[in-house]
Amino acid sequence: MVEQELIRAAQSGDRDALITLLREIEPAVYKTAYYTLNNEQDAMDAAQEALIRIYTKIGSYEEKAQFKTWVQRIVTNICIDKFRRVKPTVSIEEHEMVFEGHDSVEGEVMRAYTREDIDRAINLLPEHHRTVVILRYVQDMSYNEISGCLDLPLNTVKSYLFRARSQLQQLLQDYQKGGAL
């Protein structure tokens, strides 16, 4: 959680505070970009563009909204713009299996495949559903924060999430029955 004093110091021209602030938010910015664009290089570009925009626009941030919501709105808008410009591609080489625990290799491989299946299913969702799923489940934002970030009514956010979960459930069930994602 970014402290308000750090934000205020950055807004008042304290360069060190601004650099510290950007370093603190960089992982969350990249995470949103990566899950939205599903491509490491595009995510790095979008994250960099978002951090530059935050750097240049920090003075325009008003405490009406949470800082986290303001940041996520910036990165989400940049990603949506990039997504509209370029049709995303999926490269098998970019997916790495990450072994988190000390379970059996078979269990780890199955979890990696399940994770890839979920990622593919999320990428099949319509853009507005995919965006709310990423903000809710990857960035762990509340419904109200998502509403503020995307400038949508709260009930619309809830509706999008409900529909997205239903679509994901159907996609994953179809896949388990032998379909393809």
Q: Is 76 exposed, middle or buried (0-12, 13-18, 19+ CB in 10 A)?
A: buried
Q: What's the mean pLDDT in 78-103?
A: 55
pTM score, two decimals?
Answer: 0.60
pLDDT the model gives residue 179: 57
pLDDT exceeds 80 at position 180: no
What's CA 34's distance to the chain center, in Å? 6
> Would you call 44 exposed, middle or buried from its count of C-beta atoms within 10 A (0-12, 13-18, 19+)?
middle
Instruction: Report residue 44's pLDDT band, with 50, 70 and 90 as the boundaries.
Output: very high
17 has pLDDT over 50: yes
- Look at 49-53, 85-89, 168-172 and tell me which has the smallest mean pLDDT: 85-89
Cα 155–32–94 angle (5° rounding)? 135
What is the reported pLDDT for 94?
A: 41
Burial 13-36 (b: 16+ CB within 10 A, else e): eeeebbebbbeebeebbbbbbbbb
Beta carbons within 10 angstroms of residue 73's beta carbon: 19
